[in-house]
């Protein structure tokens, strides 16, 4: 069962890492590029009152250390400042966007994990065969594809020439739906191309990791024991090899979260998907620093938490994890 | 007594990038029900290969060059994969080396012991199968409550007891133990050996017992087969082979171990190394290391012949009076 | 990565070995083709970035005998642009990798060699950077520091070292455990000497394989950064071509000839490095070796 002490230790590590990210973020946006007001308060034509309100909020005329504490206080109250392109609180904008990104990532992740792991298992089980070789080559090719370009090519192929799927946005603009099912169907259609793009590019890595882990596991002695017991290979594979390969695969999933976030930025850009990624792209073009700062913090925190979760899952699955 | 296992002229190669490894070449022996045969020889002489070939568990680069393995009168080599799977564990089970990672680290030992039972006896009631697991554990001296523990929670010796319980799970006729006590410490070795011997007697099991440690074999076997570089060089009853070893290699092996019956003597290693099995030496494979080598030994291969009652050996110089 | 034994010295004919494995050979051939095209191509087919059309009729035109791969959003020749774009993509990839590998190797060597506070601190820093999501990090750095050739290189180089550091560290740790290093240390060799003479040569093969894979990653990073509008706007790279093509709506207008060539260029180079790196990895890591 879960070792409480170990979980606690991990949790403390996570909190330290989160603080490190927050501090890193603070320094990056305050210290390095010079005038902090330019970064935080360059909110287009904000009124002088609004600027002075921001100045007070972030303590911009105070020393840096004081600013840091203001910054921490603001973080805990969800205060990320104002976006100067949208002229609205950053936190509100983020909240609107997060759900859309989660939908996209969830759809892609299900496909990536299912197909990636299945392909990896098949390749490892038939190591050295033609099937294995073609799966490895395909994975390496997929791995080499730039996500955004894959998206662009799919737009041309399936959006412009074949016109099979919508290529932009999350709903058909101006459409009205008779039922929630119709609305869902519309969302589903918009989801197809971005999801395929993400899945194609990130699947390769999953397959390669699953394969090499499993190839390793299949040389273990307990695999021979399984065969000696008279179990058919398929049962040895799924009953003994795959459960042992699961642990490294879980670690990969945590790394994958970081990867897929990068993918989401590109895919949302190409398909004008109104999520965090597209938000970042627009913010980059307009140098909307408050948005960039908050988005980065949010994404980094997500990845850190994903790692934490994978550590916990590892402990749940692996009976060997001992009190450290 | 009936012959349970009859291996005839077994020859196995491994395909590798640098050529075919002639790992086993012309090995024959018989094993009667309820008897224990020891196989001894230096590392790399083909003991494991011989053992794994019986339930057909060799890795995919292995090739059967010649030979038959008759088990209860039928040739296992002719079986389809599905047919041999039914023989494995149900009739022939295995105990692997004690230090080996032969138990699955992420499954409880109970689950691993019950697995072959429910697989080979699909009709068995879950409760009966569980009951049998508990009995087996008790039999090998593990408290039944520990069925829910994972392998890493046991010591090496205890893990080996688990392995033995597992090997007995389907009440097989033959158990193949490949170095079952190697890498355990001496006290534990003795315990495990006694356990194996007792169970073998109680259940009237046939057993193949592989070890490079002659003293271990002397204690637990009825017969012994000595292998050298893929060849069977001598075979016979324990008493005969140890008291009157016929082959120079057997003699050297016995000399190189502490005296099992008497006081500790100086250990002589056998000088030199076992030959390369991709290009094995011509003639007798042992001639390069043999202190009694004569011209013919390098040219023609000696055949196994009877040297005493139920004892055979392959050496050109048998029959000459010993110096 | 598993710290398995690596041959004590680099086999002299490593690339010959790569060449003998089909996947590795495919990688080397791909790289050879791209390298020759990027070096010779722009000499034979020079590209003039100022050759901008004045008539809308020349914009985003499909392939013709005049323009083998059509024209871009400013009416320039895509074929020539692609050839010259290869140079910047390769150059950024190589220079960023040089930074990344140097940094990663040094940090990995030190973190593995010094087990005390130095090692722990270095490893904590490495883990910290490893956990940050790479693309968002690169994006905000580029957005803060500006868009130029050298900043792109710095940003990619300074963010992609942690995985190298980790791999090198675990190898160094397993080397340290070996007898001969202990013996040399006890004979009074300085740390620097032990690292440079006895440890580094043993980690070099691993660094080699890693370098090849990092180049692939760096080229992808450059392309992505440029595509997102954070590349050097006055120089042509495959990434900036795709950026301008995307912004000009080439995809929606079905202008495949503008988007296909630079993207294929990226894919071929990255695939070339990936295949070579994958093969090297297999050769150097006995655990992965196929029978
Ligand atoms: N899968 C394989 N591929 C190639 N050669 C192999 C393979 N397995 C074993 N061999 C070779 O076959 C020969 C016999 O090996 P085997 O494992 O049967 O010896 P052994 O007597 O059991 O030795 P040990 O006492 O070390 O267990 C050795 O030379 C070994 O190197
Ligand atoms: Mg063996």
Instruction: Give dist(CA B31, CA B53) in Å, integer.
Output: 15
Nearest to A230 among B103, B119, B150 (CB): B119
Q: Whose CA is closest to B94, among B164, B23, B183, B40?
A: B164
Does position A254 have pLDDT exceeding 90, yes or no? no
Q: Residue range A50-77: average pLDDT?
A: 78
Instruction: Give dist(CA A116, CA A99) in Å, integer.
Output: 25
The more confidently predicted of residues A47 and B140 is B140
| CA-to-CA dists, residue A237 to B101, C123, C131, C225, angstroms | 17, 36, 32, 42
Instruction: Give dist(CA B150, CA A322) in Å, integer.
Output: 12
Chain B contact probe: residue of A228, A238, A315 with most B CBs at under 10 A: A228
Show the tokens assigned to A23: 């501090």
- Nearest chain B alpha carbon to C290: B17
Instruction: Give dist(CA C127, CA C131) in Å, integer.
Output: 6
Ligand nearest to the CA of B63: 1
pLDDT for position C269: 95
Show the tokens assigned to C27: 């990688």
Contact indicator for A241, A223 with CB cutoff of 8 Å: yes
Does position A237 have pLDDT exceeding 90, yes or no? yes
pLDDT for position A257: 86
Q: Residue range B71-76: average pLDDT?
A: 92
pLDDT for position A323: 41
| CA-to-CA dists, residue C258 to A149, B291, C75, C88, C264, angstroms | 12, 81, 11, 18, 11
Instruction: Give dist(CA C231, CA C83) in Å, integer.
Output: 18
Q: Is C192 on the interface with B (CB under 8 A)?
A: no
| CA-to-CA dists, residue C261 to A190, C20, C95, C219, C239, angstroms | 27, 30, 23, 16, 11
Q: What is the pLDDT of residues C19-66, one digit of tens each?
A: 888 889 999 999 999 999 888 888 888 887 777 766 777 777 788 777
Q: How far is the CA of B23 from the centre of ligand 1 (A)?
A: 7
CB contacts of C227 in chain A (<8 Å) are 146, 148-149, 266, 269
Question: C248-274 burial string, b = 16+ CB within 10 Å, else e?
Answer: bebbeebbbbbbbbbbebbbbbbbbbb
Question: How many C-alpha atoms does B116 have within 13 Å on its Cβ side?
Answer: 28
CB contacts of B107 in chain A (<8 Å) are 240, 243
> How close C172 gets to chain B, by Cα (Å)?
27
Does position A33 have pLDDT exceeding 60, yes or no? no
Contact indicator for C31, C273 with CB cutoff of 8 Å: yes
Q: Which residues pair with C100 in a beta bridge?
A: none
Q: What is the pLDDT of residues B273-313, one digit of tens each?
A: 778 889 888 889 988 888 888 888 888 889 898 988 889 99
Instruction: Give dist(CA B237, CA B259) in Å, integer.
Output: 18
CB contacts of C283 in chain B (<8 Å) are none
Parallel, antiparallel, or unpaired: how do β-strands B74-75 and B62-71 relate?
antiparallel
pLDDT for position B154: 92
Note every long-range contact of C24-30, with CB atoms under 8 Å and residues 24 or more positions apart, other chains counting.
C24/C275, C24/C276, C24/C278, C24/C279, C24/C280, C26/C275, C27/C271, C27/C272, C27/C273, C27/C274, C27/C275, C27/C276, C27/C277, C27/C278, C27/C279, C28/C272, C28/C276, C29/C272, C30/C268, C30/C269, C30/C271, C30/C272, C30/C275
Rg (CA), chain C: 22
Q: How confident is the model at residue B99 (pLDDT cuts 50, 70, 90)?
A: low
Q: How confident is the model at residue C7 (pLDDT cuts 50, 70, 90)?
A: very low
Instruction: Give dist(CA A247, CA A264) in Å, integer.
Output: 26
Q: How confident is the model at residue A71 (pLDDT cuts 50, 70, 90)?
A: confident
Q: How confident is the model at residue A134 (pLDDT cuts 50, 70, 90)?
A: very high
pLDDT for position C195: 85
Nearest residue (CA) to ligand 1, atom 30: B44
pTM of the entire predicted model = 0.84
Q: Whose CA is closest to A228, among B93, C139, C168?
A: B93
Does position B17 have pLDDT exceeding 50, yes or no? yes
Parallel, antiparallel, or unpaired: how do β-strands B36-40 and B223-228 relate?
parallel
Identity of the highest mean pLDDT range in A183-192, C251-260, C276-285: A183-192
Residue C203 in 3-state DSSP? helix
- Nearest chain C alpha carbon to B61: C291
**Residue listed under structure tokens 């600013």:** A67
Number of alpha helices (DSSP H) and beta strands (DSSP E) in chain B: 10, 12
- Percentage of chain A surpassing pLDDT 90? 47
| Weakest-pLDDT range from A109-113, A259-263, B120-124, C199-203 | C199-203
| CA-to-CA dists, residue B285 to A69, B64, B213, B248, angstroms | 82, 21, 21, 12
How large is the ipTM? 0.91
Ligand nearest to the CA of B213: 1
Instruction: Give dist(CA B182, CA B185) in Å, integer.
Output: 8
In chain A, what are the domains?
A: 91-322 (1.10.3720.10)
């Amino acid at each position: 069962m879960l070792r409480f002490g170990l979980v606690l230790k991990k949790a403390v590590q996570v909190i330290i890492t989160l603080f490190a990210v927050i501090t890193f973020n603070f320094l990056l946006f305050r210290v390095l590029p010079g005038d902090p007001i330019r970064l935080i308060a360059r909110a287009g034509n904000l009124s002088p009152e609004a600027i002075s309100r921001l100045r007070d909020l972030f303590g911009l005329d105070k020393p840096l250390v004081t600013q840091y504490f203001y910054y921490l206080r603001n973080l805990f109250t969800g205060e990320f400042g104002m976006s100067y392109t949208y002229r609205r609180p950053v936190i509100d904008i983020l909240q609107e966007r997060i759900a859309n990104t989660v939908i996209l990532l969830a759809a892609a992740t299900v496909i990536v994990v299912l197909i990636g792991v299945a392909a990896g298992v098949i390749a490892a089980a038939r190591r050295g065969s033609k099937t294995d070789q073609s799966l490895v080559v395909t994975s390496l090719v997929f791995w080499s594809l730039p996500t955004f370009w894959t998206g662009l090519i799919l737009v041309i192929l399936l959006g412009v020439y074949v016109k099979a799927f919508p290529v932009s946005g999350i709903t058909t603009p101006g459409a009205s739906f008779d039922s929630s099912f119709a609305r869902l169907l519309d969302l589903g259609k918009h989801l197809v191309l971005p999801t395929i793009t993400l899945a194609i590019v990130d699947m390769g890595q999953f397959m390669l990791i699953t394969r090499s882990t499993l190839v390793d596991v299949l040389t273990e002695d307990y695999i021979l024991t399984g065969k000696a017991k008279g179990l058919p290979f398929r049962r040895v594979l799924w009953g003994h090899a795959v459960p042992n390969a699961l642990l490294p695969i879980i670690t990969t999933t945590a790394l994958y979260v970081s990867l897929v976030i990068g993918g989401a930025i590109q895919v949302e850009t190409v398909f004008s998907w109104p999520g965090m990624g597209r938000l970042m792209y627009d913010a980059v073009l307009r140098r909307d620093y408050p948005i960039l700062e908050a988005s980065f913090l949010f994404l980094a925190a997500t990845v850190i938490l994903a790692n934490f979760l994978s550590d916990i899952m590892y402990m749940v699955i692996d009976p060997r994890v001992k009190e450290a | 007594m009936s012959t349970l296992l009859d291996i005839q002229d077994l020859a196995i190669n491994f395909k590798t990038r640098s050529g075919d490894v002639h790992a086993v070449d012309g090995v024959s022996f018989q094993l009667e029900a309820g008897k224990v045969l020891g196989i001894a020889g230096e590392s790399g002489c083909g003991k494991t290969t011989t053992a794994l070939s019986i339930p057909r568990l060799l890795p995919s680069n292995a090739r059967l060059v010649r030979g038959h393995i008759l088990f209860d009168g039928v040739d296992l080599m002719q079986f389809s994969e599905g047919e041999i799977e039914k023989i494995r564990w149900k009739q022939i089970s295995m105990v692997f080396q004690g230090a080996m990672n032969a138990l699955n680290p992420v499954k409880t030992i109970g689950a691993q012991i019950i697995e072959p039972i429910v697989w080979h006896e699909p009709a068995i009631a879950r409760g009966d199968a569980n009951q049998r697991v508990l009995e087996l554990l008790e039999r090998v001296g593990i408290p039944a409550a520990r069925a829910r523990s994972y392998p890493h929670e046991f010591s090496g010796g205890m893990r080996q007891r688990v392995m033995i319980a597992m090997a007995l799970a389907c009440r097989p006729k033959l158990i193949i133990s490949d170095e079952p006590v190697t890498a355990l410490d001496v006290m534990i070795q003795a315990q495990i050996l006694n356990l194996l011997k007792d169970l073998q007697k109680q259940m009237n099991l046939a057993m193949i017992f592989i070890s490079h440690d002659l003293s271990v074999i002397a204690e637990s076997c009825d017969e012994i087969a000595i292998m050298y570089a893929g060849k069977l060089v001598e075979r016979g009853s324990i008493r005969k082979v140890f008291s009157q070893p016929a082959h120079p290699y057997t003699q050297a092996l016995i000399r190189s171990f502490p005296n099992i019956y008497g006081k500790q003597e100086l250990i002589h290693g056998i000088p030199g190394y076992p030959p390369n099995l991709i290009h094995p030496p011509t003639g007798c494979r042992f001639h390069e290391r043999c202190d009694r080598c004569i011209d013919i030994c390098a040219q023609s291969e000696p055949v196994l012949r009877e040297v005493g009652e139920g004892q055979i050996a392959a050496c050109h110089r048998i029959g000459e009076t010993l110096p | 990565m598993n710290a398995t034994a690596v041959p004590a010295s680099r086999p002299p004919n490593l690339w010959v070995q790569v060449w003998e494995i089909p996947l590795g050979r495919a990688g080397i051939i791909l790289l050879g083709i791209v390298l020759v095209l990027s070096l010779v191509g722009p000499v034979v087919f020079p590209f003039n970035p100022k050759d901008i059309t004045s008539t809308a009729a020349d914009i985003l035109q499909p392939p013709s005998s005049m323009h083998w791969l059509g024209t871009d959003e400013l009416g320039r020749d895509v074929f020539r642009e692609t050839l010259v774009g290869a140079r910047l993509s390769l150059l950024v990839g190589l220079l960023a990798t040089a930074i990344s590998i140097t940094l990663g190797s040094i940090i990995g060597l030190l973190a593995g060699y010094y087990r005390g506070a130095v090692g722990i601190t270095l490893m904590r820093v490495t883990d910290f950077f490893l956990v940050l999501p790479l693309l968002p990090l690169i994006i905000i750095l580029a957005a803060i520091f500006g868009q130029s050739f050298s900043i792109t290189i710095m940003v990619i180089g300074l963010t992609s070292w942690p995985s190298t550091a980790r791999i090198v560290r675990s190898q160094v740790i397993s080397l340290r455990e070996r007898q001969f290093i202990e013996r040399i240390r006890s004979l009074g060799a300085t740390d620097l000497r032990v690292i440079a003479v006895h440890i580094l040569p043993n980690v070099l093969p691993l660094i080699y394989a890693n370098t090849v894979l990092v180049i692939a990653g760096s080229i992808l990073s450059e392309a992505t950064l440029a595509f997102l509008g954070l590349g050097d706007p006055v120089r042509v790279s495959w990434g900036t071509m795709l950026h301008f093509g995307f912004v000009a709506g080439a995809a929606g207008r079905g202008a495949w000839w503008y988007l296909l060539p630079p993207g294929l260029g990226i894919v071929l180079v990255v695939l070339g490095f990936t295949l070579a790196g994958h093969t090297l990895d297999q050769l150097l890591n006995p655990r992965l070796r196929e029978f």
